[in-house]
Amino acid sequence: MTPFKPVLLEAVGVPDGHTLASYRGRGGYAPLEATLAQKQPNDVVEMVKASGLRGRGGAGFSTGLKWTFLPKDHPGPIYLCVNADESEPGTFNNRILMEDDPHQVLEGTILSSFATRASTAYLYLRYEYPRSWHRLQAAIDECYAAGLLGRNILGSGFSLDIYLHRGAAAYICGEETGLIESLEGKRAWPRIKPPFPAIEGVFKKPTVVNNIETMACVAQIARRGVDWFKSIGVPADPNNPRDPGSYGPKLYCLSGHVEKPGCYEAPLGITLRQLVDQHGGGVWKGRRAKAAIPGGISMGLFTEAEFDTPLDFAGPGKVGCLGLGTAAVVVIDDQTSIVDFLHNSCRFFAHESCGQCTPCREGTSWSLRILERIRAGRGRLKDLDILLELGTTMGMMPGSTICGLADGAAWPIKNAINKFRGEFEDFIKRTNPAGWMVTDPVPALTIVGAH
Amino acid sequence: MIAQGRRVITEAMEAEIEALAPRYPNRRALVLPALHIVNRELLHVPLDAVVDIAAVLGLPPAEVQDTLSFYQFFPQEKPHGKVRAFVCRSISCALRGGDELLEKLCHAHGIHPYGTTPDGELTIEPAECLGACDFAPCILANDDLLMNMTPEVAVTELKKPRRRAT
Ligand SMILES: Cc1cc2nc3c(=O)[nH]c(=O)nc-3n(C[C@H](O)[C@H](O)[C@H](O)COP(=O)(O)O)c2cc1C
Ligand code: SF4
Ligand code: FES
Decide: helix, strand or coil at residue A234.
strand
**What's the whole-number average pLDDT of chain A?**
96
A55 lines ligand 1 (CB under 6 A): yes
Please compute the mean of the pLDDT values over residues A6-17 and round it to a whole number. Answer: 97
Q: Which residues of A touch B91 (CB under 8 A)?
A: 89-90, 256, 293, 297, 330, 341, 344-345, 348
B111 and B64 fall within a common domain = no
Domain that holds residue B15: 11-71
Tens digit of each residue's pLDDT (9 = 90 or more) over A23-70: 999 999 999 999 999 999 999 999 999 999 999 999 999 999 999 999
A141 and A158 fall within a common domain = yes
Does an H or E element contain B69, and which? helix B61-71
pTM score, whole prediction? 0.97
Cβ A181 vs Cβ A16: under 8 Å: no
**Identity of residue A271:** T
**B36 and chain A in contact, CB less than 8 A:** yes
Residue A349 scores a pLDDT above 90: yes
Q: Which of A289, A314, A333 is the last residue of a domain?
A: A333
B6, part of any domain? no
User: What number does the ligand 2 atom closest to the CA of A354 have?
Assistant: 8
| Contact residues, A window 185-204, toward B, CB-based 8 Å cutoff | 185-188, 203
Please compute the mean of the pLDDT values over residues A295-307 and round it to a whole number. Answer: 98
**Rounded percentage of chain A residues whose pLDDT exceeds 70:** 98
Please compute the mean of the pLDDT values over residues A393-421 and round it to a whole number. Answer: 98
Q: Which residues of B touch A171 (CB under 8 A)?
A: 128
Give per-10-residue mean pLDDT for chain B (166 aa): 82 98 98 98 98 98 98 97 98 97 97 97 98 98 98 97 94
A94 and A31 fall within a common domain = yes
Residue B1's pLDDT is 65
Residue A145 scores a pLDDT above 70: yes
ipTM rounded to 2 decimals: 0.97
Nearest to A102 by CA among A25, A23, A18: A18
Strand partners, B144: B141
B89 and B36 fall within a common domain = no
Q: Which residues of A touch B72 (CB under 8 A)?
A: 169-170, 451
Please compute the mean of the pLDDT values over residues A255-268 and round it to a whole number. Answer: 98
A24 and A131 fall within a common domain = yes
Residue A447 scores a pLDDT above 60: no
A116 and A179 fall within a common domain = yes
A443, part of any domain? no
B48 and B99 fall within a common domain = no
The CA-CA-CA angle for residues A441, A347, A56, to 5°, reads 130
Residue A195 scores a pLDDT above 80: yes
| DSSP secondary structure of A242-266 | T---EESEEEEEEEESBSS-EEEEE
Residue B5's pLDDT is 77
Q: Which of A275, A305, A333 is the last residue of a domain?
A: A333
A343 and A318 fall within a common domain = no
Domain that holds residue A383: 338-431
The answer for residues whose C-beta is within 8 angstroms of residue A341's C-beta and 6 or more apart is: A291, A301, A332, A412, A416, B91
Domain count, chain A: 3
Residue B3's pLDDT is 72
Specify the CATH number for the domain of residue B142. 3.40.30.10
